[in-house]
Chain A
Amino acid sequence: MPGEIAFYLIAVFTVAFAAAAMTLRRLVHCALCAAAAFAGLAMIYLQLDAEFVGFAQLLVYVGAIAILIVFAVLLTRGDEVAPGNKQSSPSWMAGAAVAALVLAAMAVAILHSPSLHRLAPSGAEAPVRRIGGELMTRYILPLEMIGVLLTGALLGAVVIAMRDEPETKQPARDVAPKPAEPLEALNSR
């Protein structure tokens, strides 16, 4: 069964890179491993016959979000933790225990559910033409809302990350001449 073997190979690849992204010390390595894990998920989508979603995942996650994360890592470079310092929070054991509990609960629920062991029906496909048609007819309102949301989010991101010069350079502003007092006021003295 080549499809099954492909799934297990990609699954191991994805989980390994996701675990590496969460455990490695250097932030750049974490970002690159996360990009590899996102690429593995895109392969799983392709393997599940969802071609458009797979390529959208590849474009958005590996192409855009991974680059954004790498840029954020580089812009916050001075915060790299010294070798002797702790990378994880003091209560990381509790967090890992809760995560393991969550995994155990979900795994038990999934493995004990008889209706989830079925195989895939044949003939399921999501052609791009039909996706486009649905987006333009049934999902037109959500599509418009996503457009508004993306515009607002990108404007907001620019405004938040913008360097606010007057506040950060307070001393320089005191030295500079006041704009409220024009030159003729100085000349008349």
Chain B
Amino acid sequence: MSAPLSHYLILSALLFSIGFAGAVARRSAIIVLIGIELMLNAANLNFIAFWRYGPHPEALTGVMFVLFSIAIAAAEAAVGLALVIAIYRQRKTIQVDRLDSLKG
């Protein structure tokens, strides 16, 4: 048998906090994006764990939600990294604390 549900939730909370710390504490926009992806993954892990340990695993709801969430995360990463590249081309920097003006 595998570990109890709470251990999966603790792992998910750890991943979420690590991603959050990276997203708010680092200066590079790419690291901020990786942190956001980590937070999304932590949420996905919660869905899968609750699906596996829930009373109705035959309903497949958690699995379906995570599949759609992965697809949306892919779209988000593509657009986010395209934005990073476009910003770098215009401003020659991706340090988020130096991108502080709205007019390009």
Which applies to chain A's interface (DSSP): helix, strand, loop or mixed? helix
Which residues of B sit under 8 angstroms from A7, Cβ to Cβ?
2-3, 7-8
Which applies to chain B's interface (DSSP): helix, strand, loop or mixed? helix
A99 on the B face (CB < 8 A): yes
Number of inter-chain CB pairs below 8 Å: 267
Measured between alpha carbons, how far is A18 from B22 in the docked complex, in Å? 10
Contact digits for B8-39, partner A, Cβ 8 Å, 1 yes 0 no: 11110111111111101111101101110110
Which residues of B sit under 8 angstroms from A47, Cβ to Cβ?
2
A90-B97, A110-B13, A120-B2 known; A22 and B24 CB under 8 Å? no
A99 in contact with B1 (CB, 8 Å) = no
Which residues of B sit under 8 angstroms from A124, Cβ to Cβ?
51-52, 57-58
A95 in contact with B63 (CB, 8 Å) = no
Which residues of B sit under 8 angstroms from A163, Cβ to Cβ?
89
B92 in contact with A79 (CB, 8 Å) = yes
* B interface residues, how many (CB within 8 angstroms): 74
Measured between alpha carbons, how far is A164 from B93 in the docked complex, in Å? 18
B68 in contact with A146 (CB, 8 Å) = yes
A161 in contact with B20 (CB, 8 Å) = no
A102 in contact with B75 (CB, 8 Å) = no
Nearest-neighbour CB distance to chain B for A166, whole angstroms, equals: 14
Measured between alpha carbons, how far is A21 from B73 in the docked complex, in Å? 18
Which residues of B sit under 8 angstroms from A73, Cβ to Cβ?
30
A31-B34, A50-B48, A50-B51 known; A110 and B10 CB under 8 Å? yes
Which residues of B sit under 8 angstroms from A92, Cβ to Cβ?
24-26
Nearest-neighbour CB distance to chain A for B9, whole angstroms, equals: 5
Measured between alpha carbons, how far is A4 from B41 in the docked complex, in Å? 21
Q: Give the residue of B9, B28, B70 whose beta carbon is less than 8 angstroms from that of A110.
A: B9
B2 in contact with A3 (CB, 8 Å) = yes
Which residues of B sit under 8 angstroms from A134, Cβ to Cβ?
60, 64
- Give the residue name and chain of the B residue nearest to A21 (CB): B34
Q: Give the residue of A22, A110, A150 whose beta carbon is less than 8 angstroms from that of B19.
A: A22
Which residues of A sit under 8 angstroms from B60, Cβ to Cβ?
126, 130-131, 134
